[in-house]
Amino acid sequence: MIPARGKKQSTGQRVDARTERWREHRIKVRNEFVDAAFRALDKFGPDVSMDDIAKEAGAAKPKLYRHFEDKIDLYNAIVDRTQELLWERLIASVNLLNDTTRELVRRGAAEYALVVTEHPNAFRFMVHSHFTQQADESERALQSARQYARRAAVLLAETLDHRSVDIDRAELTIYTVFGTVASATDWWLGASRNRPLPMPIEQFVDYLATTISSIAESNARMNGVLIAPEQPLHLAFSMTEPTE
């Protein structure tokens, strides 16, 4: 007996609904594991293990591996969560249309430094994680950073609406900024949780803002772009002849 058309369609809808509920469940469980990872980092420091994270989540380690392909997948999820936190804080504190480019860079550096002080072990983990010590895993972590830099470069080109923006060079500049900021943060935090910070946060923010601006402006000049730091972002860029 052939099912009635209405019943067949209803069955298909139920299957789709179950698939969607399972997808939402997986996202929810992954997010709960990432929450547990941050709590475990606060407790155990940057040498946290997959066992530590699973126990903090109240789950067996096999369940953790059912929701993450491997350690690098979890590592990337922690990086993503940190970036989301920083982006949310930044967007809430700036006006992209009216704030000057200089103010945007400084505010970005300030919000970044605040997040670092709130979650220092998460940043120690991202820089020194034993999750990424093996050669193939280290390469995958670097590849992830390159992908973030590429997306940021494309977004910058679209925001500025300059057809002549060299996305490859913009990617290189952003990747350089990522590395510089990571190295500076590593120096500032240090490996020990008990060591006092060697520089007040206000001075560290000044250092980051100055360094980021210098890297961006010098690389822009090499590619025939001038940045006016006292102008809003959408007015700050103008084209010149590239330097030899």
| Topology (CATH) of 72-239 | Tetracycline Repressor; domain 2 (1.10.357)
- Predicted local distance difference test score (pLDDT) of residue 169: 81
Q: Is the pLDDT of residue 93 over 70?
A: yes
Give the DSSP letter string of 51-113.
HHHHHHTTS-HHHHHHHSSSHHHHHHHHHHHHHHHHHHHHHHH--TTTSBHHHHHHHHHHHHH
Q: Is the pLDDT of residue 17 over 90?
A: no
What are the C-alpha distances in Å from 98 to residues 38, 104, 147, 173, 230?
35, 10, 29, 25, 11
Q: Would you say the CATH fold of 72-239 matches that of 1-68? A: no
pTM of the predicted protein model: 0.76
| Topology (CATH) of 1-68 | Arc Repressor Mutant, subunit A (1.10.10)
Tell me how far apart the alpha carbons of residues 214 and 34 are, in angstroms, rounded to a whole number. 35
Q: Is the pLDDT of residue 51 over 80?
A: yes
Domain spans in the chain, listed from the N-terminal domain onward: 1-68, 72-239
How crowded is the C-beta side of 149, counted as CA atoms within 13 Å? 19
